[in-house]
Amino acid sequence: MSTLQNAAKEAAELREKIDRASKLYYIDDNPDISDYEYDMLFKRLTELEAEFPEIITADSPTQRVGGKALDKFEKVTHAVRMGSLSDVFSFEETADFLAKTADVIGRDPYFSVEPKIDGLSVSLEYRDGVLAIGSTRGDGIVGENVTENLKTIKTIPLTLPDKLPLLEVRGEVYMPRKSFAKLNAENEEAGLKTFANPRNAAAGSLRQLDSKITAKRNLDIFVFNIQRIEGKEFASHTESLDYLASQGFHVIPDRAKLSGAQNILGRIEELGKMRAKLPYDIDGVVIKADVLAERAEIGENASTPKWAAAYKFPPEQAKTKVEDIMIQVGRTGVLTPKALLSPVKIAGSTVSAATLHNIDFIREKDIRVGDTVILQKAGDIIPEIVSVCKEERTGAEVPYEMPAVCPSCGEPVSKAADEAATRCTNNASCPAQMERSIEHFASRDAMNIDGMGPAVVKLLIKEGLIAKVSDLYSLRAEDVAKLERMGKKSAENLINAIENSKTRGLDKLVYALGIRNIGEKAAKSLAVRFGDIEKLFSATKEDLTAIEDFGEIMAEDVIKFFAHPATCSFVDELISKGVTTKYESDKKGEFLSGMTFVLTGTLPTLSRADASALIESYGGKCSGSVSKKTHVVLAGAEAGSKLAKAQSFGIRIIDEEEFLKIIEEQKI
């Protein structure tokens, strides 16, 4: 036998040993070799494949580390629609669902009751026992080919013991809580964006164009359904899941086959109590008719099956104590009270603060320093105080009043009778407002100064290199390079980004100015209508309210802003630094004139801002909500209620690929 043949034989044996060890470790939680022994097997296989590249196979364990970065994801049309389930939010609604199925069958059918993993739905397609394609759910009909990224997940088998001609399964990719905490800690340390929750982190990790990044994120998966299969048949869902487990899949855990409303509701209650102790997030319980023949008898609605429902947990709540209330000053001078809380674990993370919005909110709920309160996460993301445990008061609690002066600059604050917000009156030189204003000015949707995040802004101010927005355009690379964690290359990149921002255009500049009640859309309307920032100084209320969707309050805010002497000086400084203050139309045509688009979900390569700009450049209009006047919905991955509403109205739905084809051909 030749040296190459010997190497191929040894590599095959090593792959078999590593695959077996991986299943015992990751799936069965019952390893029979030490980590060191596993590492040595893996090391030997890596050495062999490096010496003899021709023996590398697509299903080798060494190929899980991630390969070549992709330019974009290819589209995958699902042979079986990856639909969603009807949601129920109470035991009453759940009991009603169960009663309806019992009426159809003539008795209480058996259901598979499973925890609903809070992650990203994917399809795995195997041909002759080998993983061929892995894709995201997308809009349920068309998803994205993320095979290389899915291969990095150790609990996804690359080959199966049974070499069936076809097996397609559906699963939920998730990020374990420990991995999520580690990722956010690393990102925070590096000054990068942190993720709101494990689900967002999993979705972002799976859609990385570089699979090596995905490989580092320690994602996991639970498989919960067979979409298609050839060469085997099953009578029940439970039987099919048992088969998948025998093939090495990480199958949905803690599932139970139950009949009768009392048993099923009891199991939902049990899973709810287990929720906080699980190493991953669940946001509900899925109830599916177990016998496949009965599913056909129960039937389906237009977009969801009648034989299944998803019970959604109410927001998780916890008790904690208000240790103190502090004030944050925003870029428009609004003083926002924030409760500092005794740290408490809720919905998978430790919370130590919650916004109190304004003094009216505090008074309405009667929140006092020292109070015991009930906390929950709105949408399992944003901490909020739901109520005060007044029965636990001792008399030592202190009612809260807003400060009379700004905690940042010491100037007086004011509160208009018709507003909930309390504001600092020192708009021109309040340090906190200036810091937030600089952050906003540099943000992506404004002047898009790459590298100018909150931490850098704070550092530049602290070191005395900037005190106001216009100072950005006087920064020198040699001064920035001396700052902690910057260095010569980072400094040069930052200065280049600042220089590039000068030509963003009037619409981006107007938005960057941070005029109260003027968002991106309104800023674009002002730029289109007036064309030059100089003309905005003389704009009248009549001029402004003549703009579509421009109300009197917005008009008054624009007039107040441009009437302030500080604004004139500021704009003069920007002009002197070479910042473009004129609008150059990006109109490319009118073939979308009269058409209203709604964007929903995450597009593969375009940001929403980019897609909106393309639509508007050809005369189209973008709206934030779906109505019967909507002509087209541009939908991406994880599209939500807007997509469902569009489907119910019969509105045309397109994906990014079709959208770009429309733009290219200028034909819709």
**Residues that are catalytic:** 116
Judge contact between 457 and 469, C-beta under 8 A. no
| Nearest C-alpha neighbor of 84 from the set 280, 249, 310 | 310
Copy the structure tokens of residue 202.
Answer: 């999993």
Burial class of residue 375, CB neighbours in 10 A (0-12, 13-18, 19+): buried
Judge contact between 37 and 123, C-beta under 8 A. no
Write the CB contacts of 32 (distance below 8 Å, at least 6 apart in sequence): 21, 24
Quote the CA–CA distance of 604 and 404 in Å, as a whole number: 49
Segment (H or E) for 241: helix 237-246
Quote the CA–CA distance of 212 and 229 in Å, as a whole number: 31
- The two beta strands, 368-369 and 621-623, are unpaired
Judge contact between 355 and 384, C-beta under 8 A. yes
Judge contact between 187 and 193, C-beta under 8 A. yes
* C-alpha gyration radius of the chain: 29
Q: In this structure, how many other beta carbons lie within 10 angstroms of the beta carbon of residue 432? A: 20
Quote the CA–CA distance of 557 and 519 in Å, as a whole number: 12
Copy the structure tokens of residue 313.
Answer: 């947990």
Judge contact between 242 and 236, C-beta under 8 A. no
* Distance, C-alpha 327 to centroid of its chain: 28
Q: Where are the alpha helices (DSSP H) in 33-145?
A: 35-51, 91-105
Q: CA-based diameter of the chain, in Å?
A: 91
Distance of CA 207 to CAs 146, 219, 282, 643, Å? 7, 12, 21, 21
Q: In this structure, how many other beta carbons lie within 10 angstroms of the beta carbon of residue 494? A: 24
Segment (H or E) for 246: helix 237-246
Quote the CA–CA distance of 201 and 193 in Å, as a whole number: 11
* Distance, C-alpha 218 to centroid of its chain: 18
Burial class of residue 520, CB neighbours in 10 A (0-12, 13-18, 19+): middle
Provide the total of helices (H) and of strands (E) in the chain, helices listed first: 24, 24
Q: In this structure, how many other beta carbons lie within 10 angstroms of the beta carbon of residue 358? A: 19
Distance of CA 342 to CAs 345, 396, 418, Å? 10, 17, 34
The secondary structure of 465-496 as a DSSP string is S-SSGGGGGG--HHHHTTSTTTHHHHHHHHHH
